[in-house]
């Protein structure tokens, strides 16, 4: 594993096809050797993959998108999306462990002070500090401006009270980009929101693991803050009122990740269906020779390719530094719906075996719906797309 890390880190930013191919090949070999044989056991037991997390550290994946200046791999968003797709094709849960962590890192790298970047990004890149994003609350999911978690300045600290829910890496992580209200009376409301780098400590507790339909292995939990003190120098950017900006910037990368996960699940469903359709025989011939199955496979393959192209388009926009909420929203919306549709079609192609826990197909069917909900529901994505479409094409 160490040799693989040296290979990847030695390339710097992945900006050539050879470097990208080497990285993807290293990830694929790891997945085949150390992940795929254990997926069904861990998924069915809902067991956290501790050994795989250690291996992801060694591969440098916790620093995938962090600049090489801070010890990361410095991958561009397109290469990162391909890495995530490949991992999701094997076990989608692992991508959540990386995604939430890298959104936190992106919030610091894009919005933090130089001192914050120097202090935290190297530790994020190695996985010494791992964590995620603290946005969602029991009464504030999609409507982030309705959050109630409050931070009040007290000397050199801020005192935080409130709760966050459905936080990926909530139990196993140690540090979070935490969105709070510093001025509840501000108008518009987003001007009263700030984001902190919050490490676990006194006043910061975590609920038990939340049980889920799919997305097994990775932990989702509630974070509870009761008179939790955080130093004022952990305010991201050093200025109150910029939390919403930091959150939305991080979510652009998060939605590209979700789109890539959707592509991975859609690809896995297609791959398994193509293989099964050539071995399962009915009426004296493989079912892939039946027109009904051919129609399904053709639709699944076209859907996957369209989702990939949208994902790569959003990744290119992100890398250019442009505002890409419309592109990321399109990719996230279409790719996640493609994952759901391909997972269902795979189950139908497999028949009774698709409903059996001996096969991966039923897992795809459980995992896929999360993509339609996570990082902003698909209903919200369509609204974002429409609003941006209008904003970019005003009538004179």
Confirm whether 20 is a catalytic residue: no
Annotated catalytic residue within 85, 137, 222, 375: 375
Contact 287, 361 (CB under 8 A): no
The residue among 33, 9, 29 whose CA lies nearest residue 19 is 9
How far is 120 from 103, CA to CA, in rounded Å?
13
Structure tokens at 196: 């902190």
Q: What is the 3-state secondary structure of the chain? A: CHHHHHHHHCCCCCCCHHHHHHHHHHHHHHHHHHHHHHHHHHHHHCCCCHHHHHHHHHHCHHHCCCCHHHCCCCCCHHHHHHHHHHHHHHHHHHHHHHHHHHHHHHHHHHHCCHHHHHHHHHHHHHCCCCEEEECCECCECCCHHHCCCEEEEECCEEEEEEEEEEEECCCCCCEEEEEEECCCCCCCHHHHEEEEEEECCCCEEECCCCCCCCCCCCCEEEEEEEEEEEEHHHEHHHCCCCHHHHHHHHHHHHHHHHHHHHHHHHHHHHHHHHHHHHHCEECCEEHHHCHHHHHHHHHHHHHHHHHHHHHHHHHHHHHCCCCCHHHHHHHHHHHHHHHHHHHHHHHHHHHHHHHCCCCCHHHHHHHHHHHHHCCCCHHHHHHHHHHHHHHHCCCC
Catalytic residues: 375
């Amino acid at each position: 594993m160490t040799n693989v890390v040296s290979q990847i880190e030695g390339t710097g930013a992945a900006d050539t096809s050879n470097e990208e191919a080497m990285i993807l090949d290293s990830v694929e070999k790891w997945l085949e050797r150390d992940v795929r044989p254990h997926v069904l056991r861990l998924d069915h037991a809902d067991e956290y993959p501790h050994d795989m997390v250690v291996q992801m550290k060694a591969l440098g994946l916790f620093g995938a998108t962090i600049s090489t200046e801070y010890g990361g791999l410095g991958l561009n968003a397109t290469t990162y999306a391909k890495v995530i797709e490949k991992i999701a094709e094997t076990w989608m849960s692992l991508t959540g462990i990386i995604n939430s962590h890298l959104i936190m890192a992106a919030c610091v790298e894009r919005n933090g002070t130089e001192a914050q970047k120097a202090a935290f990004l190297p530790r994020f890149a190695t996985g010494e500090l791992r964590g995620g994003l603290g946005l969602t609350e029991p009464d504030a999911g999609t409507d982030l401006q309705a959050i109630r978690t409050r931070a009040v300045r007290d000397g050199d600290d801020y005192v935080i009270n409130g709760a966050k829910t459905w936080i990926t890496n909530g139990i196993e992580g140690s540090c979070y980009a935490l969105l709070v209200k510093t001025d509840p009376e501000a108008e518009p409301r987003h001007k009263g929101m700030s984001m902190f780098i919050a490490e676990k400590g006194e006043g910061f507790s975590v609920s038990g693991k939340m049980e889920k339909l799919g997305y097994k292995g990775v932990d989702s939990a509630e974070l509870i803050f009761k008179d939790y003190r955080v130093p004022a120098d952990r305010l991201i950017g050093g200025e109150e009122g910029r939390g919403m900006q930091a959150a939305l910037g991080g979510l652009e990368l998060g939605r590209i990740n979700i789109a890539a996960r959707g592509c991975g699940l859609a690809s896995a469903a297609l791959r398994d269906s193509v293989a099964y359709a050539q071995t399962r025989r009915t009426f004296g011939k493989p079912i892939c020779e039946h027109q009904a199955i051919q129609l399904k496979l053709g639709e699944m393959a076209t859907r996957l390719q369209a989702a990939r192209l949208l994902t790569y388009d959003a990744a290119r926009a992100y890398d250019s530094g442009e505002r890409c909420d419309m592109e990321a929203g399109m990719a996230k919306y279409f790719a996640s719906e493609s994952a759901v549709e391909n997972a269902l079609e795979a189950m139908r192609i497999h028949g009774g075996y698709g409903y059996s826990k001996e096969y991966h197909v039923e897992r795809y069917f459980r995992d896929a719906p999360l993509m339609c909900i996570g990082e902003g529901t698909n209903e919200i994505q369509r609204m974002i797309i429409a609003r941006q479409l209008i904003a970019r094409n005003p009538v004179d």
